[in-house]
Amino acid sequence: MKYSILAASLAASAFASPSHNHHHHHHAKKAAAAKVEKRDASVVTTVVVGPTATQYVLDGKPVDAAAAKDGLAKGEYVVVGETQPTYVPPPPPPPAPPAPSSTAGDMKAQFIEEAVSSSAPASTSTTAPPPPPTTSAQPTTSQAAPPKSSAPAQQPSGGTGLTANFPSGKIPCSEFPSDYGAVALDYLGTKGWSGIQYVPDYTLASEVINEIITAVSGQGCKPNAMCSYACPPGYQKTQWPSAQGSTLESIGGLYCNADGMLELTRPSHPTLCQQGAGGVTVKNDLDDSVCTCRTDYPGIESMVIPACATAGESIPITNPIESDYYVWDNKQTSAQYYINKKGYSVADSCVWTSALDKTGAGNWAPVNLGVGQTSDGTTWLSIFQNLPTSTALLDFNIEITGDVSSKCSYVNGVWTGGSNGCTTSMPKGGNAIVRYF
């Protein structure tokens, strides 16, 4: 099938101070099995008080949102250049914990979104959108009962040898490195890999990568490919090349060289997985399982890295130390997770498009979670509605408790700290619990 290429741009919404040090998390969905054309790009951050909206562009011309969504559903379009909320830490908090926030203006950190523009057909632009329907006062109990998965949300097994150094250049690309900490995601159909990017013009001397072809189900890791992988909950991958996309696409994973052998792309980190700062746990007090899915970043940037907690289970969430994590466009980045409805299997949750719930799971999951530790040792945690991508509502409540500076929760459809989300912080050495109930 011949695909048309749509670009989706978001008009940003945040409460920000001019003195804030904005950290960006660029999230671009590449066209599957299609060459990403080289194009000049500039990044513009728009920070305004207001709602968010998506504009679709085809061949440089705006496309009606309804027509774009219909084409996407039929497989006629592929989205490229889609931006996602990013985590932005503010100045350090005062010594004494502040009183719980009651308005959006009191939020101690924000997520902002970026628009990438160019003169090529796959260009994006921002526009002042109309206000979206409000959902802050609508209880989740008003939602229809969600569909149920055919299988429990069981965390994929594997990931032994977390402390073993990876023998660069010694393991065939056809062999998934599960003995070195990596967890195979067999449900994706890419031979266990969380994402594969074919980069035919890449060499060790490359400063940028112009051609990026994203693998689809049924394809595998082969020469001239970056092969990304998942790590167990509480760990994250260590590998990505210094050369990144020429138009700011992120690229990550081990490199499959011309001899068909896997090579480290960050030899300074000889193990495939590492822990972050720690201290952040998901506690599932529901009577059903929940999958919290992290974006494969840097890499294909789909939300495929699972942290699935069964009923009554606690599971660690990776808290990146931003000074030792991926830098995008000279900016430090944090982790972004997608919180799915309860009872969904990992294959129905930790994917871009869920066959079970196309408008309420995967990329369209109701709620995002952002986590990251900044250079002063402060961990910032935010939960927020996945707007404008999704208007789905979560079928349970969330609260962040523990050694945190302020209350942050989503209870019966109502947020503390703002109309669509809230943020809190945790000091170095502290513990925070993201509780589902």
pLDDT in tens, 226-279: 999 999 999 999 999 999 999 999 999 999 999 999 999 999 999 999 999 999
Confidence of residue 304 (pLDDT cuts 50, 70, 90): very high
Q: Is residue 417 part of a domain?
A: yes
The pLDDT value given to residue 68? 63
Tally helices (H) and strands (E) across the chain: 2, 31
Q: Are 390 and 262 within one domain?
A: no
Distance CA 78, CA 30 (A): 8
Q: Is residue 138 part of a domain?
A: no
Range 54-82 average pLDDT: 57
Neighbours of 50 (CB within 10 A): 13
Sole residue written with tokens 């790590």: 231
**Is 420 in contact with 111 (CB distance < 8 Å)?**
no
Q: Are 303 and 404 within one domain?
A: yes
Distance CA 62, CA 170 (A): 49
Burial class of 209 by CB neighbour count within 10 A (0 to 12, 13 to 18, 19+): buried
Domain boundary among 274, 299, 327: 274
The pLDDT value given to residue 135? 31
Q: Are 255 and 315 within one domain?
A: no
**Is 353 in contact with 361 (CB distance < 8 Å)?**
no
The pLDDT value given to residue 20? 28
Domain containing 181: what range? 152-274
Q: Are 256 and 291 within one domain?
A: no
Q: Are 383 and 302 within one domain?
A: yes
> What residues contact 186, with CB distance under 8 A and at least 6 apart?
156, 192
CATH number at residue 391: 2.60.110
Q: Are 343 and 225 within one domain?
A: no
The pLDDT value given to residue 17? 26
Structure tokens at 111: 């997520």
Q: Considering only 33-47, 140-154, 292-306, which range has the smallest mean pLDDT?
A: 33-47
C-beta pairs of 119-123 under 8 Å, 24+ apart in sequence:
119/39, 119/40, 120/37, 120/39, 120/40, 121/5, 121/58, 121/59, 121/60, 122/5, 122/7, 122/37, 122/39, 122/57, 122/80, 122/81, 123/7, 123/39, 123/57, 123/60, 123/81
* Whether pLDDT at 97 is above 60: no
Q: Are 318 and 213 within one domain?
A: no
Distance CA 34, CA 87 (A): 30
More confident residue, 96 or 320: 320
Range 305-324 average pLDDT: 97
Confidence of residue 71 (pLDDT cuts 50, 70, 90): low
Question: How many structural domains compose the chain?
Answer: 3
Q: Are 267 and 309 within one domain?
A: no
Q: Is residue 199 part of a domain?
A: yes
Q: Is residue 76 part of a domain?
A: yes
User: What proportion of the chain, given as a percentage, has pLDDT over 90?
Assistant: 62
Q: Are 270 and 285 within one domain?
A: no
Q: Are 165 and 233 within one domain?
A: yes
Q: Are 257 and 309 within one domain?
A: no
More confident residue, 112 or 362: 362
For residue range 338-395, what is the model confidence (pLDDT) as tens digits? 999 999 999 999 999 999 999 999 999 999 999 999 999 999 999 999 999 999 999 9
For residue range 207-238, what is the model confidence (pLDDT) as tens digits? 999 999 999 999 999 999 999 999 999 999 99
Neighbours of 59 (CB within 10 A): 13
The pLDDT value given to residue 417? 75
